């Protein structure tokens, strides 16, 4: 006879943890955790954030369904994130593979420099080179305003320090001010 005490529940499978591995201070990032449960039971998740804090046990959730958990960090460093699951009987899985999250103190890219001709002829394309440096060596995007109503909206990503060549032509005689700004991959 099978008694309650002798019932042996299978543990959930090792959870799959996914989410970013680089970020900046005080921004919330989404991690997804998901485990299947061989008995089809609901599962709870526990995430160790690597900074001495954890999510506590979250759930119950249907097994095999990704669950999103948010986290921010308020100090720079490298944080090892891991998740585990348990079933409704409290039988726990093994830990997920870790994610190593690097939190940096992000600094925006420098104001871009613009190189190219200051005088030209109507209807002729001219090349301009835009360059900026990001002190964190993050990839960068450029927003370019050609002064005639035309813009390049956040073209990129480009390596920090890499000159980006873009041509433009003006179709009406006049004086135009070309302006450029840059942002990095953290939108800063
Ligand atoms: Ca940066």
Calculate the alpha carbon distances from 158 to 48, 91, 186 in Å: 34, 48, 13
Residue 26 reports pLDDT greater than 90: yes
Average pLDDT over residues 31-44: 97
Separation CA 160–CA 139 (nearest Å): 5
CB 95 within 8 A of CB 86: no
For residue 57, give the nearest of 22, 15, 98, 26 by alpha carbon.
15
pLDDT band at 4 (very low <50, low <70, confident <90, very high): low
- Please provide residue 116's backbone torsions phi and psi, each rounded to the nearest 5 degrees: 165, 180
**Which pair of structure tokens corresponds to residue 123?**
């209807």
State the distance from the centre of ligand 1 to the C-alpha of 106, rounded, in angstroms. Answer: 5
The angle at the Cα of 71, spanning 63 to 17, to the nearest 5 degrees, equals 35
How many residues comprise the chain?
188
Supply the pLDDT for residue 3. 54
Condensed to tens digits (0 to 9), the pLDDT of residues 40-74 reads 999 999 999 999 999 999 999 999 999 999 999 99
> 2 CB contacts (<8 Å, ≥6 apart)?
none
- Please provide residue 5's backbone torsions phi and psi, each rounded to the nearest 5 degrees: -65, -30
Supply the pLDDT for residue 187. 79
CB 164 within 8 A of CB 133: no
State the distance from the centre of ligand 1 to the C-alpha of 105, rounded, in angstroms. Answer: 8
pTM of the model: 0.75
State the distance from the centre of ligand 1 to the C-alpha of 48, rounded, in angstroms. Answer: 27
pLDDT band at 84 (very low <50, low <70, confident <90, very high): very high
State the distance from the centre of ligand 1 to the C-alpha of 133, rounded, in angstroms. Answer: 9
Separation CA 32–CA 16 (nearest Å): 8
For residue 66, give the nearest of 17, 117, 115, 119 by alpha carbon.
17
Average pLDDT over residues 4-16: 83
Supply the pLDDT for residue 30. 98
Separation CA 187–CA 119 (nearest Å): 33
Supply the pLDDT for residue 8. 79
State the distance from the centre of ligand 1 to the C-alpha of 169, rounded, in angstroms. Answer: 31
State the distance from the centre of ligand 1 to the C-alpha of 23, rounded, in angstroms. Answer: 10
State the distance from the centre of ligand 1 to the C-alpha of 188, rounded, in angstroms. Answer: 7
Give the residue carrying structure tokens 């700004």: 181
CB 42 within 8 A of CB 121: no
Separation CA 159–CA 132 (nearest Å): 9
């Amino acid at each position: 006879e099978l008694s309650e005490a002798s019932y042996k529940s299978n543990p959930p499978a090792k959870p799959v943890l996914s989410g970013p591995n680089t970020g900046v201070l005080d921004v919330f990032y989404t991690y997804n955790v998901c485990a299947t449960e061989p008995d089809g039971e609901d599962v709870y998740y526990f995430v160790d954030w690597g900074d001495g804090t954890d999510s506590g046990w979250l759930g119950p959730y249907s097994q095999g369904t990704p669950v999103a958990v948010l986290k921010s960090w308020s100090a720079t460093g490298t944080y090892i994130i891991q998740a585990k699951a348990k079933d409704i009987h409290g039988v726990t899985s093994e830990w997920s593979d870790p994610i190593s999250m690097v939190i940096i103190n992000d600094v925006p890219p420098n104001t871009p420099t613009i190189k190219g001709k200051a005088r030209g002829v109507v209807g002729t394309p001219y090349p301009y080179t835009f360059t900026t440096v990001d002190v964190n060596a993050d990839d960068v995007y450029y927003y370019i305003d050609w002064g005639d109503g035309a813009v390049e909206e956040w073209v990129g990503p480009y390596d920090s320090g890499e000159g980006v060549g873009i041509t433009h032509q003006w179709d009406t005689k006049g004086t135009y001010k070309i302006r450029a700004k840059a942002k990095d991959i953290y939108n800063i």
